[in-house]
Amino acid sequence: MRWFWIDRFEEFVRGSRAVAIKNVSLAEEHMHDHFPGLPLMPNSLIVEGMAQTAGLLVADAIDFNRRVVLAKVAAATFHFDAVPGDTLRFDASVLDLKPAGSLTKVTSMIGDQLQGEAELFFAHLEPGEGVPTLFSPDELLTWLDHLRLFDVGKDQEGKPLLRRDW
């Protein structure tokens, strides 16, 4: 089973910024197992949602030519817990983009309150460097369609992003 910690994109500017939404639901399995009787979304899974948002932003910025792997959580701070019924809004920005890796800053908001913030470093690995292929190109395009990336995505000039054929 694959775990997706974002439900959709609300904004996506190639190589710059992405905003994604995660609805926290009592229907999710981890809500019943993490703290029985006190359902909350573990901060580690919030970091995963942040990483998925920023990782797709970075992967798109490098034309999906390398595998983008979360290599380091440089810093992470959480101000309060996310509970069922909350909507997390992940706002990711690329701080530095180099051939070998990238640094991003991601915040999570619930309503108008800052819930968490993190700096995430991603390594850019060549195919065959021991990282398994997680998605076929068709699976990735289908996932990006479901996340509405192509509905809201723009390049840095403000033109709509087009689906790519890999």
pLDDT tens per residue across span 151-161: 999 998 999 98
- What DSSP line would sit under 39-63, residue for residue? --B-HHHHHHHHHHHHHHHHHHHTT
For the ranges 33-42, 61-70, 97-106, the maximum mean pLDDT occurs at 97-106
Structure tokens belonging to residue 73? 């959580």
Q: Are 119 and 74 in contact (CB under 8 A)?
A: yes
Prediction pTM value = 0.91
Averaged pLDDT, 59-82: 94
Please tell me the predicted confidence (pLDDT) of residue 131: 62
Name the pairing type of β-strands 8-13 and 87-97.
unpaired
Per the DSSP assignment, residues forming a β-bridge with 104 are 94, 120
Q: What is the pLDDT of residue 1?
A: 36
Sequence letter at residue 82: A
Dist CA 55 CA 48 (whole Å): 10
Residue in this structure with the two tokens 């996340």, named with its chain if needed: 147
Residues annotated as catalytic (active site), given as ranges: 34
Domains and their CATH numbers in the chain: 8-151 (3.10.129.10)
Contact 122, 67 (CB under 8 A): no
